[in-house]
């Protein structure tokens, strides 16, 4: 079975919000209608987004590190948001595992948003239906697009290539290899929601040099010293 998902490399993300704007641009222009904003040019702008980039500071100054953290629906393999929906508007596509909302069925009861521990769902205040990341379902299933373009908008927009897209059930896919070889992890594993999206951890490039490496036999800096023998058998005594 296919499970499409994103793998986001926190080691690469620079927090530029290009994925946020490109997601908004694509998904506000589609057949499903706009992602409405309120006061977009005023003091307190607010609106519907599928994807947000948040920023966390880890550690205490001066030993701090900034983590830019893009967050969108994780397309859980056990999505707790789906069974609670009273109308069936929320569903998981059997063919590719993407969790979607049917905007024509949704009654805007917000119950599914309570059942998502990640806060990935946002109610559109204008249309009064629940919205969330669709992995650009209208793009990735559009056979008219070239293979290069049949990817979610955010993935194509990321200037640092921090976002990978693919089938996490295929062990040989780019995303599976990245998860396997670069320590990919899931958010809030304690809820057993089995998020399909994974994150690749921050990694510092640090060189570890042990004392033994400094005094290696072939180290030219190693001081020569002479062994003093006290009559024991040495290599010289071996009869070939």
Partner 1 sequence: MHPTFSVIFLTTLIGAGQGLFLAMVTGQLYAIARFLPAQTDQFYAIGSLVALVLLVTGLLASFFHLGHPERAWRAATKWRTSWLSREVIVLPIVMFLVFAYGAAHWLGLTMPLFRVGESLQVDATLLLGLFGTIASFALFVCTAMIYGGVRFIQEWHTPLTVTNFLFLGAASGFMLAAAYSAYISNPLVTFFGTWAVILTLTGLASRSAHLVRNAQMKYKSTVQTAIGVRHTVIAQKAQGATGGSFNTREFFHGQKQTTIETVRLLFMVLVFPIPILLIGAAYITSSPTLPILAFVIQYVGLMAERWSFFAEAKHPQNLYYQSVA
Binding site for partner 1 (CB under 8 A): 17, 20, 39, 43-49, 52-60, 66-67, 69, 71, 80, 83-89, 105-111, 113-119, 121-123, 125, 127-129, 185-191, 199, 201-202
The answer to whether 102 and 82 are in contact (CB under 8 A) is: no
Q: Give, in order, the Cα–Cα distances in Å from 4 to each of 70, 92, 93, 136, 158.
A: 17, 11, 10, 11, 18
- Binding flag, residue 162, ligand SF4 (CB under 6 A): no
The token duo for 226 is 């002479």
> What is the DSSP secondary structure assignment for residue 223, as one 8-state letter?
P
Query: Near ligand SF4 by CB under 6 A, which window of 85-93, 163-171, 202-210, 211-219?
Result: 85-93
The token duo for 110 is 């917000």
| 150 binds, options partner 1, ligand SF4, none, Cβ within 5 to 8 A by partner type | none
Q: b/e for 52-83, b at 16 or more Cβ within 10 A?
A: bbeeeeeeeeeeeeebbbbbbbbbbbebebbe
98 or 200: CB nearest partner 1: 200
The token duo for 153 is 């908008």
- Binding flag, residue 157, ligand SF4 (CB under 6 A): no
- Binding flag, residue 91, ligand SF4 (CB under 6 A): no
| 74 binds, options partner 1, ligand SF4, none, Cβ within 5 to 8 A by partner type | ligand SF4
The token duo for 20 is 């946020």
Over the window 99 to 138, marking each residue x when it contacts ligand SF4 by CB under 6 A and - when it does not, the resulting string is x-x----xxxxxxx---x-x-xx--------x-x------
Cβ 223 to partner 1 shortest distance, Å: 41
């Amino acid at each position: 079975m296919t499970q499409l998902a994103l793998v986001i490399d926190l080691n690469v993300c620079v927090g530029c919000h290009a994925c946020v704007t490109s997601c908004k641009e694509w998904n506000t222009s589609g057949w499903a209608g706009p992602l409405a904003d309120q006061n977009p040019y005023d003091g307190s702008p607010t609106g519907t987004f599928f994807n947000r980039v948040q920023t966390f500071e880890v550690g205490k100054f001066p030993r701090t590190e900034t983590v830019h953290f893009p967050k969108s629906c994780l397309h859980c393999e056990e999505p707790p948001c789906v069974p609670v929906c009273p109308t069936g508007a929320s569903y998981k596509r059997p063919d590719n595992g993407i969790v979607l909302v049917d905007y024509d069925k949704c009654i805007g009861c917000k119950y599914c948003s309570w059942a998502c521990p990640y806060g990935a769902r946002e109610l559109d205040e204008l249309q009064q239906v629940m919205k969330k990341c669709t992995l650009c379902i209208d793009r990735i299933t559009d056979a008219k697009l070239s293979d290069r373009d049949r990817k979610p908008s955010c993935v194509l927009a990321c200037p640092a290539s921090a976002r990978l897209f693919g089938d996490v059930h295929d062990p040989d896919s780019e995303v599976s290899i990245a998860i396997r070889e670069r320590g990919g992890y899931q958010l809030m594993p304690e809820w057993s929601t089995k998020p399909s999206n994974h994150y690749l951890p921050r990694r510092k490039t640090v060189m570890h040099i042990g004392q033994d490496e400094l005094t290696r036999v072939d180290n030219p800096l190693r001081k020569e010293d002479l062994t003093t023998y006290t009559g024991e058998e040495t290599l010289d005594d071996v009869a070939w």
